[in-house]
Chains A and B, each alone.
Chain A
Amino acid sequence: MYQNIKYVLIVACFASVAAGCSKWMDLKPQNGIIKDEFWKTKEQVNAAVTGMYASMMGGTTTTDITVERPLPELFFLWGEARADMISPTSRAISEEIDLTTLNILSSNRITNWRYVYQTINYCNTVIDLAPDVLKTDATFTQAQLNQALSQALGIRALLYFYLVRSFNAVPLKLHATVSDQDLTALKKTSSDTILTQVVKDLKRADSLAPLTFGSDAIDKGRITKYAVESILADVYLWMDKYNECIGECEKVIASGRFGLVAGDAGWFDKLYYNGNSAEHIFALQFDAQKLNSFYFMHATTGRRWTAAPHLMEDVFGLDVVNYPPKVDIRGDGGSLRAGDLTIWKYVGANSNNSLRSAEQSYAQWIFYRFADIVMMKAEALNELNKPLEAWEQVKLIRNRAGAFDFKGLPDSTNKTSMQNFILEERQREFAFEGKRWYDVLRVAKRNNYQRLDLLLTMATISVPPDKQQSALAKLRDKNSHYFPIYYYELQTNKLLEQNPFYK
Chain B
Amino acid sequence: MKKLNKGLFVALTITAIGYYMAGCKKEAYRLETTGDVNIVGYLEKYPDSFSLFKQILDRTETSAFLNAYGTYTCFAPTNSGVRNYLKIIGADSVGSADINVLKEMVKYHLLGDTISTGNFTDGKLPLPTMLGQYLITGVANKDGVSRYIINRQSWIYQSNIKTGNGIIHEISEVLIPPSKTLAQALESKPDYSIFVQAMKETGYYDTVNTVNPDPAKRWYTVLAEPNKALADSGINSYADLKKKYSQTGNPKDPKDSLHMYMAYHILDGLKYLADIITASAHQTLLPQEVVSSKLENQRVLINDDVFNNVYEPGVELIREISDNSSTNGVWHSSSGHFMVKFRKPQAVYWDVSSFDEIMKLPAYYKRQNYRFVKANELDWPIKDIDWHYNSASTTMTYSYSTSSSITRYMYNWDANILPMGLPARAAWWEFKTPVIVKGRYKVWICYRTQRQSTSSQCICNVRINGELMQRPFAFTDFIPAGTDAEREAIGWKRYIENTTDGNFASRLVGTVDIQTTQRHVLRIEAITGTQNTNNLDMIHFIPVDQNQVLPRFAPDGTKVWQ
Q: Decide if A and B are genuine partners.
A: yes
Residues of A with Cβ closer than 8 Å to B?
Answer: 89-91, 94, 98, 103, 105, 299-303, 309, 312-313, 318-320, 323-325, 327, 332, 338-342, 460, 464-480, 500-501, 503
**What are 11 inter-chain pairs, A to B, with CB distance below 8 A?**
A103-B120, A313-B360, A340-B372, A340-B375, A340-B381, A460-B297, A466-B278, A467-B121, A470-B137, A473-B139, A474-B146
Do A91 and B298 have beta carbons less than 8 Å apart? no
Do A476 and B146 have beta carbons less than 8 Å apart? yes
Q: How far is the CA of A359 from the CA of B82 in the complex (A)?
A: 62
Do A301 and B376 have beta carbons less than 8 Å apart? yes
Nearest to B396 among chain A residues (CB) is A339
**How big is the B interface, by class?**
35 or more
Is B158's CB within 8 Å of the partner chain A?
A: yes
Do A470 and B121 have beta carbons less than 8 Å apart? yes
Given contacts A339-B372, A340-B381, contact A325 B362 (CB under 8 A): yes
Is B518's CB within 8 Å of the partner chain A?
A: no
Nearest to A479 among chain B residues (CB) is B145
Residue from B118, B123, B137, B297 within 8 A of A105 (CB atoms): B118
Residues of B with Cβ closer than 8 Å to A?
Answer: 116-118, 120-123, 137-141, 144-146, 148, 158, 160, 274-275, 277-278, 295, 297-298, 319, 357, 360-363, 367, 370-376, 378-379, 381, 383
Q: How far is the CA of A105 from the CA of B361 in the complex (A)?
A: 39
Residue from B140, B144, B360 within 8 A of A338 (CB atoms): B360
Residues of B within 8 A of A478 (CB): 144
Do B146 and A469 have beta carbons less than 8 Å apart? no
Q: How far is the CA of A94 from the CA of B118 in the complex (A)?
A: 10
Residues of A within 8 A of B140 (CB): 473
Q: How far is the CA of A105 from the CA of B161 in the complex (A)?
A: 12
Residues of B within 8 A of A301 (CB): 375-376, 379
Do A503 and B158 have beta carbons less than 8 Å apart? yes
B120 CB → nearest A CB, Å: 7
Do B381 and A103 have beta carbons less than 8 Å apart? no
Q: How far is the CA of A341 from the CA of B137 in the complex (A)?
A: 33
Q: How far is the CA of A300 from the CA of B295 in the complex (A)?
A: 33
Residues of A within 8 A of B120 (CB): 103, 467, 470
Do A300 and B375 have beta carbons less than 8 Å apart? yes
Do A103 and B295 have beta carbons less than 8 Å apart? no
Do A469 and B117 have beta carbons less than 8 Å apart? no
A309 CB → nearest B CB, Å: 8
Q: How far is the CA of A467 from the CA of B378 in the complex (A)?
A: 23
Residues of A within 8 A of B122 (CB): 466-470
Given contacts A89-B379, A460-B297, contact A466 B277 (CB under 8 A): yes
Residue from A90, A323, A460, A479 within 8 A of B367 (CB atoms): A323
Do A480 and B146 have beta carbons less than 8 Å apart? yes
Residues of B within 8 A of A342 (CB): 375
B392 CB → nearest A CB, Å: 15
Q: How far is the CA of A479 from the CA of B143 in the complex (A)?
A: 12
Residues of B within 8 A of A501 (CB): 146
Q: How far is the CA of A342 from the CA of B375 in the complex (A)?
A: 10
Q: Which 3 A-B pairs have the closest CB atoms?
A: A477-B146, A301-B376, A473-B139
Residues of A within 8 A of B144 (CB): 476-478
A464 CB → nearest B CB, Å: 8
Q: How far is the CA of A16 from the CA of B219 in the complex (A)?
A: 90
Do B277 and A339 have beta carbons less than 8 Å apart? no
Nearest to A466 among chain B residues (CB) is B274
A101 CB → nearest B CB, Å: 9
Nearest to A476 among chain B residues (CB) is B141
Q: How far is the CA of A98 from the CA of B116 in the complex (A)?
A: 12
